[in-house]
Amino acid sequence: MAVVIGIPVCADAAERRTPIVPDVVKKLRAAGAEVVVEKGATAGAFLDETSLGEVSWVDSTDDVLAVADVLWVIGPPSDEVLAKVRPGTVLMGLLAPYSSADRLALMNERQITAFAMELLPRISRAQSMDILSSQGSASGYQTVLIAATRAPKFFPMLTYAAGTIRPSRVLVIGAGVAGLQAIATAKRLGAIVDAYDVRPETKEQIESLGAKFVDTGVSAAGSGGYARELTEEEKAQQAEKLAKAVAACDVLITTAGVPGKKAPVIITEAMVAGMKPGAVVVDMLAENGGNVAGTVAGKEVRVGPAHIVGPTNLPSRMPVHTSEMYSKNLLNFIAPMLNEGLLNMDWEDEVIAGACLTHAGEVKHPMVKQVLGL
């Protein structure tokens, strides 16, 4: 029998994205797979029962679980749902692998093979599957739009009958995919952009987008394309140099995260206190503790002279395109496993093995085991 890919309603009622879109349905069907979707699972992305294509619609999550061999999700299913998953089911999506040892224990109890796309190896062959990058790009774009609508100044230089308005100065902390998109978006809006990342290899990328690299003399190049955690001495040196750049900017956007750890606090209370009156801060890592002292997830707060915004689930704000990107990433991940409608997982494949969170009743990923003490 052909493999059945199931799409349940997301556990987070505020989530608007969906893991399935019409183009991906066509390609899954061409590969011999069947698709079952719970009614309502695609509504937030403006896809209804007439637009998704050749899928089977069911009335409840239980109906999906009863027939699905593979579940595509955005965010981990609730414990209640996991407890009903048939043993041997394959789970794919953003699963917050470092957030709950109890959830992993439940997955193991149910013999779920889970692939957390956050764990995808950072290699060239996996780029087309990289959900963190596709969704991060949307997040970086959104941070600049949020800042621009709250800034008390124009972003671009503006000439009018009585003179010239100087452009805003934007400082972006972190030059991963989200940070680079934030830089590009701020430049498109006409701002002067400075940017900083602890990885020295990002200097060329930052400058290629027309921004100026803030050099603090600290290098924290880590493995897998991520930054390592800084020592206390390095943090002090970084803070001293960054404080000057923070004080000079009109808008500050922070995007710096470390896998499996709480977001590092890069912008201290003293730095915030030294900002210009009316300065706007958008902390993309608010959900993970924040890069900025004073950030409150899901809130906008006034801290000294600054207006700090702590947005949550930024990709969900533009669900049409983020759903399309997410779904295509999942398609590219599962495509090598599909053979004439059947699922065949090659555990010698470094992409498949590297993204595996749980299998055969065990947590497979070494970093997750280390972080959670398993």
Contact 68, 89 (CB under 8 A): yes
Active-site residue (options: 111, 219, 226, 317): 226
What crossing angle do the helices spanning 319-334 and 22-30 adopt, rounded to 10°?
20
Active-site residue (options: 130, 194, 197, 250): 130
At which residue do the structure tokens 């599962």 appear?
334
- Sort 247 into a burial class: Cβ within 10 Å, 0-12 / 13-18 / 19+: middle
Alpha-carbon gap, residue 226 to 255, rounded angstroms: 13
Residue 226: active-site member = yes
Contact 167, 155 (CB under 8 A): yes
Alpha-carbon gap, residue 28 to 8, rounded angstroms: 17
Amino acid, single-letter form, for residue 354: G
Neighbours of 300 (CB within 10 A): 15
Active-site residue (options: 51, 56, 60, 127): 127
Contact 177, 205 (CB under 8 A): no
Residue 133: active-site member = yes
What's phi and psi for 77, nearest 5 deg?
-65, 160
Residue 86: active-site member = no
Residue 122: active-site member = yes
Contact 264, 255 (CB under 8 A): no
Residue 199: active-site member = no
Residues in the chain: 374
For residue 303, give the H/E element and its range: strand 300-303
Which of the residues are catalytic?
Answer: 122, 127, 130, 133, 226
